[in-house]
Structure 1
Amino acid sequence: MIAIRLRSSCGAALVGVLALATSGCGLSAELDREANPERKPTPSETRAAPPPVSATPSPSVSVQPVSGCPSSGLRFDVGPIDGAMGLRAMTLSMTNCGEQPYELNGYPSVSVLDEAGTPIPGVRTAEGTDEVPVAPPGSAPEPFTLKPGETARAGLLWRMAAEDGTYLRVAPDKKRDFVNVRPEEPLDIGPENILGTTPWAPAS
């Protein structure tokens, strides 16, 4: 797992917000008394709730089944996005749900796709995290065997950008077959950015 320590200036921001609020409270109270001298309660404003985000994949994009073991014997999952100071991190998991052991030695192969299943222009995947500003250093890959029932994990790191990625096209490495997975929340990574990866490691 990747832990990112959030360093925030929330205290200073909170002081500023409180200062703005208290500086206008006298004027606001006076206007309220003039508009409503009898102090009758005013109906609260109602706002329509935002429409829910659909988790249904586009008909043009084939994704990994929601449950069960794919025919490859490998199942991929992604964790929630952790963010601090503009740095984003996500855990990519691969479980051997088949019957044969699986040899791993290196980095996952990952690309970011838009809602139509097209790679986002300019987003490049790098082995390691050196090219991602302020990202923590990653360790070197080590070979290991992923036995049936075991899980391996790798980290994905990027800097916050404007354009969202809807799908991840992932494979154990560049020589293996890909599968598309849809994270629970979009990746704010495009249109020009670098996706850093850490090597596969056994899940603790």
Structure 2
Amino acid sequence: MTRWVAGVVVGVVVAGVLVGCDVPPAPEAAPGPSGIRSPVPAPTAVPSPPAAKAPACPEGGVRLVEGAGDAAMGLRVADVRLVNCGTQPYVLDGYPEIRLLDRKRAPVAVEVLHGGDAIAAAPTGAEGVPQRVELQPGQAAGFGMVWRNLVTDSTVPAAEGWVLDVTPRAGAPRVELELRHSVDLGNTGKLGIGPWKAATR
């Protein structure tokens, strides 16, 4: 009987000691994957820039394009291209008929000469024998222009053209070309032009 009581007392004491000790709580378990993922946004498509639209083909089925030019010691040389932007063949023969206009589209007083002999002794690209040129859709022809930028009389205003008004062939609708580089005639009053020639490139 004495041993049983002693055992009970010892058990109680040990239990009390254990209860009185500060036992840290067990750490909480780290949250596991929930199985739900945030949606990944789809890449945003970058819109392509709009394609440049070609200018509308004029009524006559051809358009003019300013070509290469050169200037040296007051002598000016320029090239004008005519492109068949229509759907039918286009025939040229001889020289174009041209008018030169200023920025306000008022006519510039100028004598248009066939060939460049009266402007320069050396070849300028405005030479050649007139011939028939047939352009299929998409093909081009051109003519050369030559003039001098000289002011020989201070009492005469210098002339400067910024627009070419061209009749490609007899009876055809006129076509206008706004120039990036002016036809600066000074007060010479002369402009030489060549015949139509098939474009080589």
Output the TM-score relative to the length of structure 2: 0.63
Match of 1:96 among 70, 81, 84: 84
Say yes or no: does 1:68 pair with 2:42.
no
**Counterpart for residue 130 of structure 2:** 141
What letter corresponds to residue 185 of structure 2 in structure 1? I
Post-superposition offset of 1:176: 2.5
CA distance in 1 between counterparts of 2:82 and 2:197 reads 10
What letter corresponds to residue 195 of structure 1 in structure 2? L
CA distance in 2 between counterparts of 1:135 and 1:166 reads 26
CA distance in 2 between counterparts of 1:191 and 1:179 reads 26
Match of 1:173 among 147, 169, 176: 169
Q: Secondary structure of the residue that 1:99 maps to in structure 2?
A: coil
CA distance in 2 between counterparts of 1:174 and 1:148 reads 20
What letter corresponds to residue 58 of structure 2 in structure 1? P
Post-superposition offset of 1:147: 0.9
1:81-140 CA-partner distances (Å, limit 9, x unpaired): 31112110111100001011111111111121112211112x111122222133526110
Asked if 2 retains the 8 angstrom alpha-carbon contact of 1:75 and 1:96, the reply is yes
Q: Secondary structure of the residue that 1:164 maps to in structure 2?
A: strand
Asked if 1 retains the 8 angstrom alpha-carbon contact of 2:59 and 2:173, the reply is no
Evaluate the alpha carbon distance shift between residue 144 and residue 187 of structure 1 in structure 2; reply closer, same or farther with a 3 A threshold. Answer: closer
CA distance in 1 between counterparts of 2:64 and 2:88 reads 16
**Counterpart for residue 153 of structure 1:** 142
Q: Secondary structure of the residue that 1:183 maps to in structure 2?
A: strand
Post-superposition offset of 1:190: 4.3
Higher share of residues assigned strand: 2
Post-superposition offset of 1:191: 4.0
Which ranges in structure 2 are unaligned for 5 or more consecutive residues?
Answer: 1-53, 151-157
Evaluate the alpha carbon distance shift between residue 85 and residue 168 of structure 1 in structure 2; reply closer, same or farther with a 3 A threshold. Answer: same
Q: Structure 1 segments of 4 or more deviating over 6 A?
A: none
CA distance in 2 between counterparts of 1:136 and 1:129 reads 8
Larger radius of gyration: 2
How many residues are aligned here? 138
Say yes or no: does 1:111 pair with 2:99.
yes
1:17-57 CA-partner distances (Å, limit 9, x unpaired): xxxxxxxxxxxxxxxxxxxxxxxxxxxxxxxxxxxxxxxxx
**Counterpart for residue 188 of structure 1:** 184
Which ranges in structure 1 are unaligned for 5 or more consecutive residues?
Answer: 1-65
Q: Secondary structure of the residue that 1:111 maps to in structure 2?
A: strand
Asked if 1 retains the 8 angstrom alpha-carbon contact of 2:61 and 2:85, the reply is yes
Asked if 2 retains the 8 angstrom alpha-carbon contact of 1:158 and 1:196, the reply is yes
**Counterpart for residue 34 of structure 1:** none
Alpha-carbon RMSD across the aligned residues, in angstroms, is: 1.9
What letter corresponds to residue 184 of structure 2 in structure 1? D
What letter corresponds to residue 141 of structure 1 in structure 2? P
